[in-house]
Amino acid sequence: MADRLVYSPLRTALLISVLAVLSSVHGIGVNYGLVGDNLPKPSAVVDLYKSNNIDGMRIFNPNHDVLEALRGSNITLIVGVEHKDLQPLASDASAATNWVQTNIVPYSPSVSFRYVVVGNEVIPGDLAQYVFPAMQNIQTALDSAGLQVNVSTSVALSVLGSSYPPSAGAFTPEAQTYMKPIIQFLASGGSPLLVNVYPYFAYRDNADQIALSYALFTSEGVVVTDGAYGYKNLFDAMLDATYAAMEKVGGADVAVVVTESGWPSDGGFAANISNAHTYIQNLIDHVGEGTPRRPAPIEAYIFAMFNENQKEAGTERNFGLFYPDEQPVYPLSFV
């Protein structure tokens, strides 16, 4: 998916105050997408991350210009494998070795790789069969190169067949076919599952059943009671449904990293500056608390750094924290 957000007036002091807090609060990073023809060059983007103390980045493919710009930056990086590479990486261990030798080894340790993402939202689907074997081959290649970098995959919550109440969270039968061995692989290696969590889309598609305040973290009290757990926001409920599904397939000890979350500032239902600002600020404030089921700080990545003009028209173009001219989309204030 593609979700990112923010808003705009003054730039210098605003950027520093906004993103300094962004990165200092419990593992908040920002996705850096490149689906635009008017974006700053990678070196300028890295400077923007650094000048605003954003210390975590996610990119969707091993773009060498970005990797070069990241050298010596101390920005931790999540890097994705392109979908076109999944089948060859799954079927040929030497292809995985070549991928690692081409895209990781030349940049390490001057680039701080955190995770390699094998597939973004491809389970379930035609490419799902290639994810697990590709993960195994990439992890073996990384280990053989002496690199302490973990492999995972990023999934949308469409992998869940049941999510309400959160304790009933379970994978769909099709998704479970692929997810069960992946979860067990992650558990054996101490790697997290990467999950894209978008209360915006759940609210948009079920606005007659979900209160906006529940989606925006602004409910004053518990909205959903699930046994011993009380839920004041949809984000926690979605995340805990994922944890419950993982527990059912042997993943009780597997952590979750939220690789995407956001709210669009334009282009669709309930997509406006006010809602985007509220959601992102509250997300930043909230991640240090964890969820009712797992009350520990959450590592999360806002989607994304920029509004990207070559994405599909509508909300997809309007998730950015910044416009392409590096002006913030809206100001964030923190207590």
Catalytic amino acids?
A: 121, 260
- Start-to-end CA span in the chain (Å): 30
Kind and range of the H or E run holding 246? helix 234-247
Rg (CA), the chain: 19
How many Cα atoms within 13 Å fall on the side-chain side of residue 159? 33
- What's the CA gap between 211 and 206, in Å, rounded? 9
The angle formed by the CA atoms of residues 135, 140 and 146, to the nearest 5 degrees, is: 130
Residue pair 48/320 in contact (Cβ under 8 Å)? The answer is: no
Kind and range of the H or E run holding 231? strand 229-231
Residue pair 234/203 in contact (Cβ under 8 Å)? The answer is: yes
- What's the CA gap between 15 and 329, in Å, rounded? 10
Judging by DSSP bridges, how do beta strands 224-226 and 229-231 pair with one another?
Answer: antiparallel
Cα distances (Å, whole numbers) of residue 335 to 37, 284, 332: 36, 11, 10
